[in-house]
Structure 1
Amino acid sequence: MSHRHPPFPAADHGAEQHPDDHFEEHYPVHPEPVEQFFEADLPSRRNRRPSKARQRRRRRRTIVMLVVVLGFVGVVVAVAMFLRSLLGVGEVTDYAGPGTGSVTFTVDAGAGPLLVGNSLEQQDIVASADEFLNAFSSVADGRVIQPGDYELKYQMSSEEAAKALLADADSKVHYAAVARDLRQNEVFDILAESTGIPREEFEALAEDPTQFGIPEQSPSLEGYLYPGEYRFDLDVTATEVIQQMVDNTKAALEDAGVTDPAEQYRILTIASIVQAEAGQADYAQVAGAIMNRLGPDNTETNGLIQSDATVTYGLGRKSYNLTPEEKADTSNPYNTYANEGLPVGPIGSPSAEAIEAAVNPADVPYYYWVTVNLDSGETKFSETLAEHARYVAEYQAWCADNVGRCE
């Protein structure tokens, strides 16, 4: 450590020195007492300013100490957060009370308690899906959550949410899910299984569709069994079931602006072909192409719709393959390869979207369409038969690479 001294006389190193002389050279004798000398001439320890080196060392010590303290604090915080996560300390595992606000919560068909719980947590209706499952198990008593829309609240207790979702299950019902594009016989299978009503009762009703307000030219209930989710009373009759489905079909047609019964029948027939031939993204374009084929100036196909789906419906099967003989059979009233115009009636249950496309088809120049990839649903349109043939070859190549998919 370096010290600053008061200015002393320079030492003469060439002269012989006595030890006492050496002391006197550095500390000459003054008349004042030594104590006065140090008190008067040496700066006090309090007043002396530390050297720059000492200041740097102090700063370094301060910085090191600060880093150590901060590191220690960080470790403590990290450990605390880890323990909080591990032990659940401070986490909200359940809300208290009935909740606040209002939210519409949808339960899809087939959704179980686990999926429902996760959706409830994501929408902040309950605090924890796990806690909801625990609450559901304790109050369900064998009941299940029915599909549909529920008016719930945000931040409900798990028990309150479970009870609200099970409220509809208190009144027992027959639940039936009818998919779009199903044929009449497929719908009857679902209705009989869901309601316990013998299938024969539905078949008997289909023999006289006019009793449900369906036009006389309709050979069956086909096209009027509206797809959707149904909850029928336990004592429901087959007639009531069919009437409800027919009423829903008519409501969808009226919503699309079609009120005349004869026009409703025509639109349903077109919509059922659109439903069977295309994916939803292509409904409007396929409907436009069908309308072009039905037009009086159609010289490309001369009034023939040429739909595989209509032919196979008349044959009583579902298939992508038709023989030349089957396409040429005029006795099949659903054969749109051999018979001009629309088939005698619908070939399945069209959705509201397909009905809308039939009412408002896209204005397109196409006469042909083919789905070239059954997995992706990619459909290609064309104006001429030559262009269509190239797309058919593309479809056939896809079928060759996906054996069994195009049967």
Structure 2
Amino acid sequence: MTDEYDADQGSAPLIDGSSDDGTPYEPGRRRSRKRRSVPGCLAVIVALAVIVGGFYFVVTWGIDKIGDQFSSADDYPGPGHGNVTFQVHSGDTAAVMGRNLKSDGVVASVEAFIDAANADPESNGIQAGYFPLKKEMAAADVVDVLVDPSNMVKDTVTFPEGLRVVDMVKILAEQTDYSKKDFEKVLDKPDKLGLPDYADGNPEGYLFPATYDFGPDATPESMLTDMVDRWRQAAEDADLEAAAADLGYTPQELMTVASLVEAEGRGDDMPKIARAIYNRLQPDNTETNGLLQIDATVNYALGRNLGVALTEEDLAVDSPYNTRLYPGLPPGPIEAPGDDAINAALNPAEGPWYYWVTVNLKTGETKFATTLDEFNEYKAEFLQYCETSEAC
């Protein structure tokens, strides 16, 4: 009887009567064979690799995280180079500013800027605007620039109350990089300025007198739009449209009255002048028969400074703005009223006046009258004042 021979495995008995696995040979007994399981070994190896790799990842990740806690964020040493005009938008957080600064190449990391901002108590007061910075600045130096509003890159333009559009355009041309023609071109097509419908495309009276900070990317259109937007804010604050309905006038008529009040009065006298204007507009007015008789409107009709003295020839100019010839309000505002004049037009004082005379140009003292005789007395007082004053 021969032993079984596994040709595939090559496990024939050895000459010395023992098998290749070291067990004695016994005739008639089938040898058991131990097979090496290759898939099983691979699984063990893979498992060990995963364990070792995972351990390495956890350790290195932990080391990195711990290192983050004790290492500072990337920051440039400064002082930087080149020029960057950086814009802070209204409502920007430190994180938003940091991202924009990093994108512009100003700071090395958002974290460095946030850390520097948190370390400066004045950083909460950073204002919207444009600031001159450099590439690769130290984050703390960037914060130092941003917290100081005097560092802003801007054209600051101030418009006092009582200016006509032509006067405002002149100021804009003098104090910005644009010419009068640039602004006039926009005003010739005012559809995009945001004027109210009742302005009928005429910006007179709707460019609000205030101080504006125009950024370096401002255009004639954006500047004029800002001025209209500021007027709209004033109109909303005063609740212009509701007040117009209460008084029985249109918003455009109230803006016209406000412009007349701006031209004629100041301070506490404004509500009284507004009342005198409304009294003259009443159908039962027999004192002036509906005529406002405001010289500033005549000058506006003549295209002149509204305070210029008038001649008899001037007073005869045929224009709907000539309130000495035509009763009622002129077609629209004659200049830009400020908050006080608008509020006076919306909240006139109570009184029977039809006339007013400023008897002292230096102090602005103004007297109000209900009859023409009383008015003439005050006018004589004014003329006497002019004989001794250089203000006239």
TM range (shorter): 0.5 to 0.7
Q: Which sections of structure 1, spanning at least 5 residues, go unmatched?
A: 1-145, 149-162
Does residue 1:349 correspond to 2:336, yes or no?
Answer: yes
Root-mean-square deviation (CA, aligned residues, Å) is: 2.6
Q: Which sections of structure 2, spanning at least 5 residues, go unmatched?
A: 1-126, 130-143
Aligned to 1:50: none
Shift of 1:349: 1.0
Shift of 1:171: 3.5
Does residue 1:390 correspond to 2:377, yes or no?
Answer: yes
Shift of 1:316: 1.8
* Separation in structure 1 between the aligned mates of residue 271 and residue 190 of structure 2, nearest angstrom: 29
**Contact 2:292/2:327 (<8 A) preserved:** yes
Aligned to 1:207: 188
* Separation in structure 2 between the aligned mates of residue 333 and residue 216 of structure 1, nearest angstrom: 18
* Separation in structure 2 between the aligned mates of residue 249 and residue 264 of structure 1, nearest angstrom: 13
Flag as ranges the 4+ runs of structure 1 deviating above 3 A.
Answer: 163-166, 208-211, 214-220, 259-262
What TM-score, normalized by structure 1, do the two folds share? 0.56
Does residue 1:268 correspond to 2:248, yes or no?
Answer: no
Cα-to-partner distance string for 1:330-353 (whole Å, 9 max, x where unaligned): x22211110111111111111011
The partner residue of 2:221 within 225, 228, 239 is 239
* Separation in structure 2 between the aligned mates of residue 271 and residue 348 of structure 1, nearest angstrom: 9
Does residue 1:253 correspond to 2:241, yes or no?
Answer: no
The partner residue of 2:327 within 330, 335, 340 is 340
Shift of 1:179: 0.8
What TM-score, normalized by structure 2, do the two folds share? 0.58
Number of aligned residue pairs: 246
Shift of 1:389: 0.7
Shift of 1:327: 2.1
Aligned to 2:173: 192
CA 219–328 in structure 1, closer or farther in 2 if over 3 Å, else same: farther
CA 186–316 in structure 1, closer or farther in 2 if over 3 Å, else same: same
Shift of 1:264: 2.7
Written as runs of structure 1 = structure 2, the 5 A alignment for 1:15-164 is: none
SS in 1 for 2:213: strand
Q: Match for 2:148: what amino acid? A: A
Shift of 1:165: 9.3
Shift of 1:360: 0.8
Aligned to 1:25: none
CA 166–183 in structure 1, closer or farther in 2 if over 3 Å, else same: farther
**Bigger CA drift: 350-359 or 182-191?**
182-191
Shift of 1:391: 0.7
Cα-to-partner distance string for 1:101-128 (whole Å, 9 max, x where unaligned): xxxxxxxxxxxxxxxxxxxxxxxxxxxx
**Contact 2:300/2:321 (<8 A) preserved:** yes
**Contact 1:208/1:220 (<8 A) preserved:** no
Cα-to-partner distance string for 1:268-322 (whole Å, 9 max, x where unaligned): 1111110110111201000000000011211111111110111111112233522
Written as runs of structure 1 = structure 2, the 5 A alignment for 1:365-380 is: 365-380=352-367
Aligned to 2:23: none
CA 165–235 in structure 1, closer or farther in 2 if over 3 Å, else same: closer
* Separation in structure 2 between the aligned mates of residue 207 and residue 299 of structure 1, nearest angstrom: 41
**Contact 1:284/1:360 (<8 A) preserved:** yes
CA 250–264 in structure 1, closer or farther in 2 if over 3 Å, else same: farther
SS in 2 for 1:242: helix
**Contact 1:219/1:345 (<8 A) preserved:** no
% identical aligned pairs: 43
SS in 2 for 1:348: coil
Does residue 1:168 correspond to 2:155, yes or no?
Answer: no
